[in-house]
A and B are shown apart, each in its own frame.
Chain A
Amino acid sequence: MEKGSHEPQRANVAQLQPGESGIVESVGGEGALHRHLLDMGITPGVRVTLQKTAPMGDPLEIHLRGYALTLRKDDAAKITLQAGKGEQA
């Protein structure tokens, strides 16, 4: 990963490093999972920040809309991020 020099470019939420954020482009997943992600506020255009990963590497803690949510890496990988809008905190 090219750290520091440029804005890091992450394709999905699972690729974010702690402290980094991105703008959601699309929300994948099927049925209940898809709907649940949307209901929890993960909608296209929202900014999510990866707060941390659990001590054993999974799940993740993300911050969005002023609250904290935990989800697994596999599911986070289904949330894609917009290109060129990444940001390091």
Chain B
Amino acid sequence: MSKARYTFALAGNQNSGKTTLFNVLTGSNQHVGNWPGVTVEQKTGVLIHHHHGGDAHFGLPALGGKKRMQDEENSDVEIVDLPGIYSLSPYSMEEIVSRNFITLEKPDVVINIVDATNLERNLYLTLQLLQLGTPMVIALNMMDEVRAHGDVIHLDILQRELHVPVVAICARKGEGIDELVRLSMDAAEHHRTTPPLDICGGPAHKALHAMAHLMEPRAIAAGLTPRYAATKLLEGDEPMAELLKLSEDEKHIIEEIVSEMEEAAGMERAAVMADVRYNYIERLLDKAVVRKNPDVDQLSVSDRVDRVLTHPVLAIPLFIFAMLMVFYITFGPIGSWVSDGFEGLVNVGIAAIGAWLSGAGVAQWLQALVVDGVLTGVGSVLSFMPSIVILFMCLSILEDSGYMARAAFLMDKPLRKIGLNGRSFIPMIMGFGCTVPAVMSARSMSSRRDRRFTILLTPFMSCGAKVPVYALFAKAFFDDNLVLVMSCLYLGGILVAVIAGLILKRVLFHGDAAPFIMELPAYRLPTPRNVLRTMWDKAKDFIQRAFTVIFLATVIVWFLQSFTFRFEAAQTIQESMLGTIAGLIAPIFRPLGFGTVEASTAVLTGIMAKESVVSTLAVLTGVNIESGAMLSALHGIFPSTSAAMAFLTFVLLYMPCVAAFAAMKRELESRRWAIAAVAGQTTVAWVCALIVYTLAHLAGV
């Protein structure tokens, strides 16, 4: 662990509001990485001050002496966001990472966030966390909804029975956060470990006690509580048996204890423990919760919405409508209005810098580099940022509202046909935004086969960075009919993914996808805070890329096209370094109708970042992409509309950018797989472009 004075681990079920709480606790000081050795996201942040409950803010610096003092006081607390899990079983990476983090890294406090509208299932994880013995605080989230139902949860009873502090919070509104921080700091300072909790009676009780007694020395040697070790062994947990280095004799005794318990309980071992926990929770909730109307639970309101959204007849049309709306908002009038405004600003900026440079008497070559190379390239990419940020806004609203889970529910059957499952839907749809987070979101799938399969198909979903290319070509070749061009390409990408899926299922991924078992969270209104947060993160990410990867790419492209291999100023592009290299690969594209040096160069730079396809064409033709000159220049590069169609097809399908490749390599857990994937995608792209070109040519386009 770092130098932080205290480390708080945030643990809870999926859909319990964990991300919202994490954002509230850490503000903007977040760091996202990977857990060492495994592809599970690790998010950490520094605790920011909290003063008034209900004070909605975005982690902006606080004013006022008292707040600042608290800031300093708490700034050395690191918050680690553990993955959203339902249990501490050893079957998914997320669960293993979480339990190892708590038992091996020993955070000072575990903050267990619990969805108060669904205590019964959420407390199942709580009981397992309590066994780890780490100081813990329970945060009952969404208490506003519980109150709105007229239900009462007696916190004092929960606290007394579970022997840990329980706080009511509402992460969305920032309520109860001060109290949560105060109690967590208190638990850390006094190292208030959780006392053993006796939750079971009968056969399980007897077996557990015998086992805990037997395992005590080994558990303590491994830094675990005896009850946690005993419970896991009782459940038949393989990693635990290995961790404790059990002897053959001990294994034998354990098996005897277990079979005696199984016989007495009339259930197998895993079922006994699950049963014990749920029985305890039922008894606890009988005491602690008073429901105003026992027949009406949180699902009742949600059900009314759901009856429409997953209606037998309406569901699919509504789903298609929702997806079309996303694209309409992003690329239709609203999106282009924002884009145009932003683009105007960017162009004004470029002109101002250009004027300033020539006014300041900067050397000619440097002016050329800055204005023609960097500004034209980076500027043309920056102007597409609004579309991508709006797309992520839409996806984030779908996710937060609970509709994404329903989409997975609706799409499971068709996806199963191509060998995937409903969960693959989320990475796929994210792929329309950016392949990098899309590939990373495949982590939520526990089976490696499903994960790899999904990752291989995700790049066929046309990413947001390709939109500039489509927009430019729609303007130049298709009467500015962006919607038509985009619909064809997006649907084309999906079609290729389906065909590729059917083939891969036969050739590479035999058998069935992992079971599809998923919680369908209650519908909720997305919070502006979370949506804005996602938009801000994406915008930041995009600007960062624009000024790093794309900046570098444009400088390199400008340099390569301005000089020959003898480092003399190139008179034409053909004799420049870039022209020479692109000239070598251009013949590959001749059958596709765009075997020109400029098109080949654009394809090459597109590997750095897809936005570069446009900036390269802008740099190569030396004209601003907005001008009419650019459009006629494009007609010079692409001799026919069918060549332009083939080029768009190729750009749609060929290997993703280096950032996506790096993400794929990490998530596929193999360099060879990643290389094979991008080689395969590029081949598919070439073949499809050839088909499109031939057909279009025959049709006389």
- Chain A residue nearest to B91 in the complex (CB): A32
B window 207-227: CB within 8 A of A = none
B window 99-154: CB within 8 A of A = 117-118, 120-121, 124
Taking a contact as CB atoms closer than 8 A, the residue among A35, A59, A63 that contacts B412 in the complex is A59
Q: In the complex the two chains form, what is the Cα distance from A54 to B311 in whole Å? A: 8
Q: Contact check, A40 vs B271: say whether CB atoms are below 8 A apart.
A: no
**Given contacts A38-B274, A54-B410, A70 and B91 within 8 Å (CB-CB):** no
A window 1-37: CB within 8 A of B = 26-27, 29, 31-37
A window 40-81: CB within 8 A of B = 40-41, 43-46, 51-52, 54-59, 61, 63, 65-72, 75
- Interface-centre pick from A26, A52, A65 (highest chain B CB count, 10 A): A65
Q: Contact check, B299 vs A44: say whether CB atoms are below 8 A apart.
A: no
Rounded to whole Å, the gap between the CB of B311 and the closest CB of chain A is: 8
**Given contacts A32-B446, A54-B413, A70-B518, A39 and B86 within 8 Å (CB-CB):** yes
Q: In the complex the two chains form, what is the Cα distance from A29 to B410 in whole Å? A: 24
Q: Does B515 contact A (CB under 8 A)?
A: yes
B window 303-320: CB within 8 A of A = 303, 310-313, 315-316
- Chain A residue nearest to B236 in the complex (CB): A35
Q: Contact check, A72 vs B299: say whether CB atoms are below 8 A apart.
A: no
Q: In the complex the two chains form, what is the Cα distance from A34 to B268 in whole Å? A: 11
**Given contacts A31-B91, A43-B274, A67-B118, A37 and B410 within 8 Å (CB-CB):** no
Q: In the complex the two chains form, what is the Cα distance from A67 to B312 in whole Å? A: 21
Rounded to whole Å, the gap between the CB of A55 and the closest CB of chain B is: 5
Q: Contact check, A34 vs B270: say whether CB atoms are below 8 A apart.
A: yes
Q: In the complex the two chains form, what is the Cα distance from A55 to B317 in whole Å? A: 11
Q: In the complex the two chains form, what is the Cα distance from A31 to B515 in whole Å? A: 12
Q: Contact check, A59 vs B124: say whether CB atoms are below 8 A apart.
A: no
- Chain A residue nearest to B314 in the complex (CB): A55
Taking a contact as CB atoms closer than 8 A, the residue among B86, B310, B522 that contacts A54 in the complex is B310
Q: Does B675 contact A (CB under 8 A)?
A: no
B window 451-486: CB within 8 A of A = none
Q: In the complex the two chains form, what is the Cα distance from A31 to B409 in whole Å? A: 24
Q: Contact check, A71 vs B516: say whether CB atoms are below 8 A apart.
A: yes
Q: Contact check, A75 vs B274: say whether CB atoms are below 8 A apart.
A: no
Rounded to whole Å, the gap between the CB of A59 and the closest CB of chain B is: 5
Interface residues on A, range: 35 or more
Number of interface residues of B (CB under 8 A): 46
User: Which A residues are in CB contact (< 8 Å) with B239?
Assistant: none
**Given contacts A61-B520, A69-B520, A39 and B412 within 8 Å (CB-CB):** no
Q: Does B376 contact A (CB under 8 A)?
A: no
**Given contacts A40-B121, A66-B297, A70-B520, A55 and B315 within 8 Å (CB-CB):** yes
Rounded to whole Å, the gap between the CB of B289 and the closest CB of chain A is: 10
Q: In the complex the two chains form, what is the Cα distance from A60 to B87 in whole Å? A: 22
Q: Contact check, B410 vs A38: say whether CB atoms are below 8 A apart.
A: no
The majority secondary structure among interface residues of chain A is: mixed
User: Which A residues are in CB contact (< 8 Å) with B121?
Assistant: 40-41, 65-67
Q: Contact check, A37 vs B299: say whether CB atoms are below 8 A apart.
A: no
User: Which B residues are in CB contact (< 8 Å) with A71?
Assistant: 515-518
User: Which B residues are in CB contact (< 8 Å) with A51?
Assistant: 303
User: Which A residues are in CB contact (< 8 Å) with B515?
Assistant: 29, 32-33, 36, 71-72, 75
Q: Contact check, A46 vs B278: say whether CB atoms are below 8 A apart.
A: yes
Rounded to whole Å, the gap between the CB of B383 and the closest CB of chain A is: 41
- Chain A residue nearest to B302 in the complex (CB): A68
- Bitwise, B386-411 to A at CB < 8 A (1) or not (0) is 00000000000000000001001110
Rounded to whole Å, the gap between the CB of A23 and the closest CB of chain B is: 13
Rounded to whole Å, the gap between the CB of A68 and the closest CB of chain B is: 4
User: Which A residues are in CB contact (< 8 Å) with B91?
Assistant: 31-32, 35-36
**Given contacts A35-B270, A70-B409, A72-B412, A44 and B275 within 8 Å (CB-CB):** yes
Q: In the complex the two chains form, what is the Cα distance from A54 to B309 in whole Å? A: 11
User: Which A residues are in CB contact (< 8 Å) with B416?
Assistant: 58
Q: In the complex the two chains form, what is the Cα distance from A56 to B120 in whole Å? A: 31
- Interface-centre pick from A27, A58, A66 (highest chain B CB count, 10 A): A66
Residue pairs across A and B with Cβ atoms less than 8 A apart, 23 shown, are: A32-B91, A32-B446, A32-B515, A35-B89, A36-B515, A41-B278, A46-B278, A51-B303, A52-B312, A54-B410, A54-B413, A55-B313, A55-B410, A56-B414, A61-B409, A66-B121, A66-B299, A68-B299, A68-B522, A69-B518, A70-B408, A71-B517, A72-B516
Chain A: residues with CB nearer than 8 A to chain B? 26-27, 29, 31-41, 43-46, 51-52, 54-59, 61, 63, 65-72, 75
Chain B: residues with CB nearer than 8 A to chain A? 86-87, 89, 91-92, 117-118, 120-121, 124, 267, 270-271, 274-275, 278, 297-299, 302-303, 310-313, 315-316, 405, 408-410, 412-414, 416, 422, 446, 514-522
Given A32-B515, A36-B89, 18 other A-B residues pairs in contact with their CB atoms under 8 A: A29-B515, A35-B89, A36-B91, A39-B124, A43-B274, A54-B315, A54-B410, A54-B413, A55-B316, A58-B416, A61-B409, A61-B520, A65-B118, A67-B118, A67-B120, A67-B121, A67-B298, A72-B516
9 closest A-B pairs by CB? A38-B274, A39-B87, A32-B91, A68-B520, A56-B413, A65-B120, A55-B315, A66-B297, A71-B517
